[in-house]
Structures are given as C-alpha cells and as structure tokens.
A and B are shown apart, each in its own frame.
Chain A
Amino acid sequence: MLKDLFRKQKRYITVRPGTVPEREEEKEPLWIKCPGCGEILYVRELEKGLKVCSKCRYHFRLSAPERIAATVDDNTFQELDGDLQAVDPLSFPAYRPKLSSAEQETGMRDAILTGQGTIEGWPVLIGALEPNFIMGSMGCIVGEKITRLIEKALKERLPVILFSASGGARMQEGVFSLMQMAKTSAAIARLHEAGILYVSVLTDPTTGGVLASFATLGDIILAEPGALIGFAGRRVTEQTLKEKLPPDFQTAEFCFNHGLIDLIVPRNEMRQILAQILSLHSERG
C-alpha cells in the first residue's frame, strides 16, 4: 500500500529458528558467467551442451567423470583400479590434508579415472585426468594407473585414449612423481613396439611434466579449442624473456600453428572423430 512507503519503522520478516532456508551459495549455482565472452549462462543448459558456451564456444573444464560420460557410449564404462589410493612417500608437509580435501571435493582417490568402454561401439581403454584433484598433477598413482591401463592394452590388444588436464608432476611426491614421466613414457614405447594405437587428447590445461611425457607421445594428438598447452608456466616464460607474450601463446591454436598437434577438435565433434580414428585402425592397411 502506498502509505506503507512512508512508515518510519522498518518492517522485518520474522523467522522461527529451525526454518532458516539453506543459503543459496551452498547449492550448485544456477547461473554462471562465461570466461570467454562474459555471457551469463544457465548452468543446466550449459551442461546439456557438454559445457561449451552457446554464444562464443568457450570450452569449460570437465571433471574426469564428466569427460568419460561425454566420450564413451552410455552404460559401457567399467572403471579399472578404482581402489588405488594416493600415497605420501616423502611424508611431505601438508600433503595428507591436501589429499583428503581433494578427495572430498572430487569424490576421487587420485587425479585420474581409467577404465574400459566403447565409443560408437568400438572397444577402447580410456583414461581422463581430473583437473580439480591437486591440479590434475601426476604422482605415483596417476603414473601407476596409466601404466596398468597400457599393460591391459598390450595384453588385450585394445587401443588407448588418454585425456590430459594437468598442471604437471606432483611436487609433493618429489622424484617419485618425476620418475612417473619416465615410467609412463616407457610404457607407451612398449605399446608402440606392439603396434597398438594410442590417441592423446590435450584439454585445458595440459602443462609441465604431463605434457613432457605421455601427453605428447600419441600416434595422434588432438586438442580442444582454446586449451592451455605448454611446458613452462606463462609467468616463468615472461620472467625469462622480460617481455609480453602473444595472447595465443601456449594455446591449442599456437601448438597447431607450430605443427605440434594433429587436429583441434571441438568438444561436440570429439566422439565422432575418436570413433573415426578407432574405425580406421580397426584393421591393418
């Protein structure tokens, strides 16, 4: 009522204890701002479109389970080595609590999900790094799970696809993590000798020790548009050079222009391209 506008005393809603509604922030947000174009996107719509901005095609990061779900045929994925739990071989400061909170945040035991499934009917061994688990970094468990996946591929003569999303080697496991670069690369060398297909897909971000090992050893290397792909951090490089770098430095496009990767594949075409690659390798030429 009009006269209410002129009341001096403010009116409050009374809330009885126990009926306080949950704070909105604690639930999944309904809307999200696109880092690419600034558009406000409806989360449910975004998820339906494989987390690609409908306006500018910006590719949001996918969790490892989301990646697997977006890639393999429905109800075909069987996880492998899901029981492997992260270790702390150096008793590194603050590492155990970091692992526990990463576990809680992601529901995963370390930074990779591996398993078997089919893509458009083609059987495949597949792994996806989890960018939200200590930046998708590679420690002993990531190295071990990749190695086991490759060993299974050798035994069953199945192709391997790995999706990378990682900050690099995991500092907290010291030289143990560094050596996982050698271990995974050597495992891929054995796969290579056996004539088995390995496709590496670089997604945002793929950097450091992961890029400098299994991620760049694919028979075919694909990347998602706009993904950060580089060996040293941009800041480190800028400090080394003492000059600003071009805006596309260390992106999928930069790598493509320098002949370092085969193709940039938008997320909505990834399954189809992978299926085509699997089909082309299903028989000897």
Chain B
Amino acid sequence: MPNVILDFEKPLLELENRIAELKQYAGEKGIDLAAEINLLENRLRELKKEIYENLTPWQRTQLARHPERPNALDYFKLLFTDFLPLCGDRCYGDDPALVGGIARFEGVPVTVIGHMKGHNTKENLARNFGMPSPEGFRKALRLAQQAEKFGRPVISLIDTPGAYSGAGAEERGQAWAIANNLFAFSRLKTPIIVIITGEGGSGGALALGVGDVLLMLENSIFSVISPEGCAAILWKDAQRAPEAARVLKLTASELLSLGLIDGVIPEPLGGAHRDPEGTADNIRAEIRQRLQELRRIDTEQLVAARWSRLRRIGCF
C-alpha cells in the first residue's frame, strides 16, 4: 500500500480498507464473508479500471511525479544484474542527481544512465530532486562514450523536473553541458535506448534523450515546460496547471499519436508505484525486443537513421 495517496485514488483506498477490515473481521470471528469480500474485490477491480483508464493529463502528471514511483536505481536493480556504479565527470565532481554505470541485461553488458530522484524529502535533498548539474550531464556523456569504446549499448532512463537552475550550475555552463550531450549522443556509434519513466522535464530530460528509440511509460510525461510554469505564463496563475497539462500534450499516448515518440510501455493498473516488478517486466520485454532489432543494424546505418528521425521532427 503506498503511503502517498493522490486525490483520485481515494475511493480505491476506501474500498481497499473495507476489504481488509472485512477479511480481518471474518478471520477473528470465524465467519464466512467470502461472498461479500468477493463482491467488493470485483468492485475494486472495476473501479481501478475505470479510474486508471480515464486519467486526465494532470492526473498522469501526478502519477509521473509520485514520490514512491520507482527511480533509476530501483529500475537498475529490477532490470539488470552486476550493476557497477561509476562516478564523476573527471572535471569537477560527482552529481548525485544523475546515476550510471555498467551492468548486464539478460547477460549482455550494457551502460546504464538515469536521472535519480528520491522517495522522500531526505533522499530528495541528497539527490537534488533529480535535477542534474553540468557535472551530471558530463558524467552521462563520459559513460556513453565509454560504452561506444567497448561496443556496449546505452540504456537511458529519464525522470527529472528539469536541469538544476542554481548559480553554480550557470557558472559551470549548464547550457553548454546540455547542448554538448545533444551534439555527441546524436553521433554516438552504439545503440541507445531511451525510456522516460517519470517526469521528462524540458532540456534537462532531453540531455539524456537523444537515441535510436524513444519510449515512454504509460503514466510518464514529457514536456517543454512544467504545467505550472506554462499556466503561470499563459494565465498568470500556476493554479491552472491541470488545464496547462491538457494543452501541452505531454502524455505518452498523445506524444505517440503526434509521432514524437516510438512507443508506450504499459504500466500495471494503478501505476508503476503500486507494482514496480510488473512495470519492470514490461520494460524488460521492450528492451529485449528493441535491443535485438538495433544490434542487427550496422553502426553507420544506425547513426544515419538516428539523424533522419530527428531531421523529420517539425516538418509539416
């Protein structure tokens, strides 16, 4: 049971509590309440379906930002074996908001990188809420270039509100670091699979987003600006973020139909935070298939195809 319950999940919580109470009561008193419990469990399933199949863009935004949603290190553990964290940009420092290293995916060595959020305030303070500084982006690039050298595919997981906007980040060239990743990833001579697992916040997300395949989890978002920021600009009222979430077309299904991403990975009913293992299973199946396809293409063709995908975006 998650600790953080979103508004639209409350009816589910009530029902789940009722079922738990009934089960406990039946157990204590030795009464057979199976029929009643069964009825409520059916109702719960229906309600879940009803709620999660009709989520508004804002509700998906809330799910994408859910503090208990699996983060990069959770997924590394669920998807890979032999994960070896590698640190530092060899220039200034190591950024805890961006993690990476080498691991095995179903036996095959891969390089993994990802934005790293925490599950609570303490963790988030240590991880800077998943907002990388230039050294984080430079570490990601260093690891990707290492992957190229050793012929390893890169798996990149995106989950960030955006790049960090502190004075130090500006002094050390935040924009330069992001641009350089876009530049270098576009020509990297090894397959790159990008998966947006949570929040895909603007340039800070895109810095890990150039690859051969761009996938999104069903309840993740990808946007040029946060709904709050957009509402503040459009209507001078950040409270209207739910409306902004609608007009920005930031959900996985909308972006797929606009041709901006290559696929949507389904999440178990209730969202990734209610079933991390089930979510990881779906991601694993997708990585397996995509990797198989990408490894068959020769490197030069791969890089040329990566360019043509980008080249087409925004031509109408």
* Chain A residues engaging chain B, CB cutoff 8 angstroms: 87, 89-90, 92-94, 139-141, 143-144, 147, 169-171, 173-183, 185-190, 192-193, 208-209, 211-217, 230-233, 236-237, 240-241, 245, 249-250, 254, 258, 260
Contact = CB atoms under 8 A, between A and B. Distances in A.
Given A92-B247, A174-B249, A179 B314 contact: yes
A249 B172 CA distance: 12
Contacts of A213: 178-179, 182
Nearest to B248: A174
A182 B224 contact: no
Contacts of A176: 258, 260, 313-314
A215 to B, nearest CB: 8
A174 B225 CA distance: 8
B181 to A, nearest CB: 9
Given A189-B183, A213-B179, A240-B165, A183 B170 contact: no
Interface stretch (B30-38, B103-111, B203-211, B263-271): B203-211
B313 A179 contact: yes
Given A186-B310, A231-B170, 6 more contacts: A173-B314, A174-B248, A186-B306, A186-B307, A213-B179, A254-B171
23 contacts: A87-B314, A90-B258, A169-B225, A170-B224, A171-B233, A177-B314, A178-B203, A178-B223, A182-B206, A182-B313, A185-B183, A188-B183, A189-B184, A190-B307, A193-B187, A208-B203, A230-B175, A231-B175, A233-B165, A237-B165, A241-B166, A249-B170, A254-B170
B310 A175 contact: no
A171 B226 CA distance: 10
A212 B174 contact: yes
Contacts, number: 171
B313 A180 contact: yes
B81 interface: no
Nearest to A140: B314
B285 interface: no
**What 7 pairs across the A-B complex have the smallest Cβ distances?**
A232-B165, A140-B314, A186-B186, A185-B182, A211-B175, A212-B175, A212-B178
B39 interface: no
A180 B314 contact: yes
B174 A185 contact: no
B154 interface: no
A153 B210 CA distance: 23
A93 B307 contact: no
A147 B186 CA distance: 14
A258 B209 contact: no
Contacts of B166: 237, 240-241
Contacts of A254: 170-171
B202 A169 contact: yes
Interface of B: 163-167, 169-176, 178-180, 182-184, 186-187, 202-203, 206-207, 209-210, 222-225, 230, 233-234, 247-250, 255, 258, 260, 306-307, 310-311, 313-316
Nearest to B200: A175
A181 B175 contact: no
Contacts of A175: 222-224, 249-250, 255, 258, 260
Given A175-B255, A232-B174, A216 B186 contact: no
B224 A147 contact: no
Nearest to B260: A175
A174 B247 CA distance: 9
Given A174-B224, A175-B250, A186-B186, A217 B180 contact: yes
A182 B310 contact: yes
B182 A144 contact: no
B316 A250 contact: no
B176 A260 contact: yes
A140 B258 CA distance: 14
Contact of B210 (A90, A174, A182): A182
A217 B179 contact: yes
Contacts of B202: 169, 178, 209
A258 B314 contact: no
B311 A147 contact: yes
Nearest to A170: B224
B170 A182 contact: no
Contacts of B210: 182, 185-186
Contacts of B310: 179, 182-183, 186
A174 B248 CA distance: 6
B97 to A, nearest CB: 14
A94 B187 CA distance: 38
Contacts of A141: 314
Nearest to A213: B179
Contact of B224 (A169, A183, A193): A169
Contacts of A177: 224, 314
Contact of B183 (A178, A217, A233, A241): A217
A171 B314 contact: no
Contact of B179 (A92, A179, A185): A185
Contacts of A249: 167, 170
A142 B163 CA distance: 23
